[in-house]
Chains A and B, each alone.
Chain A
Amino acid sequence: MRPSLTEQVQQIWRYRELLRELFIAWVKLRHAGSVLGLLWTLLNPVFFIATYWLVFTRIIRVDVADYPLFMIPGFLAWNFSVVAVTNAAEAILNAKDLISRVAFPRVILVIASVMVPFLDFLAAFTVYAVILILTGTGVSPAILSLPVVLVAQMFLTVGAGLVLATVAVYFRDTIRLIQVFATLLFFATPILYPLTMIPESLRPYAWLNPMTPVVTLYQRVLYEQQWVEPSVLFITLALGLAALGAGLKVFGHFEHSFAEIA
C-alpha cells in the first residue's frame, strides 16, 4: 500500500501533464481579474529591488561593499523557499474537495505549489541580472554553476514542503508555526550579513541551517563572482536530494488517508 520511492517518481512522471496544467491554472487564477496580470511577476521584483537599493544606499549604510548587490540574491532565494514551503503546506488542505473526489497522486499538488513561486523567483533573478549588467558590475562565467544551486534548492524546498504538507493535514497550526519559525530562521541565516560576521565560535552551527549553504552559494556566484568548488556543489545537491527523498517517504506514508482527514 505504501508506495516505494521508485513508484512515487514514476507516478510523478506519469502525471507530468497534470503538473503542467495545474501550474498554468494556478498562475492564471492568481492573476484572475487583475489588470496588469502576469506583468506583476516582473513588476514586483523591480519595485522590491528598487526599494531595497534606495534604502541601503541612501539611508542605511552597511559596511559591506555594494551592499544591495550582496544582499538581494540571498534575500530572493530565501523568499522563494519560504513562500514555496508555506504554499506547499497549505496545498493539501486547500484542495480537500478535489482530493476527496478525484484520485491522482497528491504529490503533484505540492510540486505545483512550489513551482508557482519558483516562476516569481526566476523573474526576480532575471531583473537582478539586468541590473547587474546595467550597473556595469556584470556577471562572471561562475554563473554557470547557478543551475546546480537552483536545482538543489528546489529539491530541498519540495522535500520540506512535502513533510510540512503532511503535518499540516493532521495539525493545522503548522502554517502559523512556519511563519514564526521562518522569521527566526531568517535572522539566523547569513542573508542580511555575510557569513564571516558570525563569531568564529558559532560559525559551525550556522551550517546546521539548511538555508546557509544555499544562500551563501548565491552570494558567492553572483556577488563575489567566484566559482564554487565542485565538491561543495555536490554536497549541496546531495543534501537537496536527501531532503526530497525524505519528504517523498513521509508524504507517501500518509498520503492514502488525506482524502478522509483533510
Chain B
Amino acid sequence: MITCTNLSKKFHWYDRPVSLKASFARLFRTPAKSAEWYVLKDLQLKIKAGERIAIVGRNGGGKTTLLKILAGIYAPTTGTVSIEARRMLALIELGAGFYSDLTGRENIRLNWALNGLRRAELKGCLDAIIDFSGVRQFLDTPLKYYSAGMRSRLAFSIAIHADPDLLILDEVLAVGDAAFQEQCYNRINLLCKSGTTLLLVSHNMADIQRMCSRAIWLQDGGLQADGEVQETVRRYLSAKRS
C-alpha cells in the first residue's frame, strides 16, 4: 500500500532575507550562514494494506516529517513515495483547520471539505459524527466556547467517520477523557478489522502495544528497527534507558 524508496528529506535553514533592507544588505556582505540537515535519510519502507504500524523514536527523529510526506504536505527531497489508497486521512494535529468563530456544525462542513470529501457523503454520517463526538448540544455554538477536549473529540470524530482505508495519526490519541479514549480505541479497532491501514505516531507505549502489530523505530533519519511491535518497543525502551 505504501512504498518509500530511498526517501530523503533535507531541511534548510538559512538567513533568508525577510525584508527588502535585509536583502540589500546581503548584497554587500559574505553569504549568510546557513545550515542544512537530513531529517530522513535513504529510508526504505514497505507497508502492506491492513497493517497496523506504530512509529516510535525520540523527538526530532523524523516521525512527523515522515507522516507529513506520506500525507502529501511535504515533498520528498529525493527518493519516491507511492501510495495506493482509496482514501487517506491524516490527522497531523487535532483541530487543524478549525476556526474558533465558526460553530461546531460549520467547522464540520469545512473540515470535511478540507479533507477532500464530498458534501453528499457528509449527509449520511453527520449524525454519527455528532453522536460520537458528544457535542450535540453545542453544535450551533462558536468553537471558541468549546473546551480543548471537545474540540479534539469533534476533530477525531470527523476523521474516523470519513471511512478511510489509510489512517494516519500523529500523537493525537492522548486527548479526551478515559471514556472517550476507550471509544476511540474501539472505533480504530473496528476500522482496522475492516481492512484500514493504520499509521500511528505515539510516545505512549501502552497505546502502541495495544493497537499495533508492527513498529518502526526512527532515529537520526533512518530505520533503527522495524519489526514485531513488542520486540521493537522493548529495544527502543532499553536503548532509551542506557
Contact = CB atoms under 8 A, between A and B. Distances in A.
A100 B106 contact: no
A interface, over-half SS: helix
A252 B198 CA distance: 31
Given A101-B93, A101-B97, A172-B18, A17 B113 contact: yes
A28 B102 contact: yes
B100 to A, nearest CB: 10
Given A25-B106, A28-B102, A98-B97, A257 B114 contact: no
A104 B117 CA distance: 11
A46 interface: no
A245 to B, nearest CB: 23
A18 B213 CA distance: 36
B116 A260 contact: no
Interface string A78-90: 0000000000000
A104 B112 CA distance: 12
Contacts of A134: none
Interface in B80-108: 90, 92-93, 96-97, 99, 101-102, 106
A21 B74 contact: no
Nearest to B20: A173
B74 A260 contact: yes
B116 A25 contact: no
Question: Which are the 4 A-B pairs with shortest beta-carbon distances?
Answer: A101-B96, A103-B72, A256-B75, A18-B113
26 contacts: A14-B116, A15-B113, A15-B116, A17-B119, A18-B113, A21-B114, A22-B110, A22-B113, A28-B106, A29-B101, A33-B101, A97-B96, A98-B114, A100-B92, A101-B92, A102-B90, A102-B115, A103-B73, A104-B116, A171-B23, A172-B18, A173-B19, A256-B74, A259-B73, A259-B74, A260-B11
Nearest to B93: A101
A32 interface: yes
Contacts of B11: 260
Contact of B102 (A14, A17, A29, A104): A29
Contacts of A99: 73
Given A32-B101, A98-B97, A102-B92, A257 B113 contact: no
A90 to B, nearest CB: 15
Given A25-B99, A32-B101, A100-B73, 14 more contacts: A15-B113, A15-B116, A18-B114, A21-B109, A21-B110, A21-B112, A29-B99, A99-B73, A100-B68, A101-B93, A170-B16, A172-B19, A257-B75, A259-B74
Interface in A112-134: none
Interface of A: 1, 14-15, 17-18, 20-22, 25, 28-29, 32-33, 97-104, 170-173, 256-257, 259-260
Given A18-B114, A260-B74, A25 B68 contact: no
Interface bin, chain B: 20 to 34
B71 interface: yes
Contacts of A257: 75
Contacts of A21: 109-110, 112-114
B48 to A, nearest CB: 23
Contacts of B75: 1, 256-257
Contacts of B19: 172-173
B102 A103 contact: no
Contact of A102 (B16, B23, B99, B114): B114
Contacts of A25: 99, 102, 106, 110
Contacts of B74: 256, 259-260
A108 to B, nearest CB: 9
B235 interface: no
B118 interface: yes
Contact of A17 (B16, B93, B118): B118
A256 B142 CA distance: 33
Contacts of A173: 19-20
Contacts of B142: 32
B205 to A, nearest CB: 25
A109 B216 CA distance: 35
Nearest to A30: B101
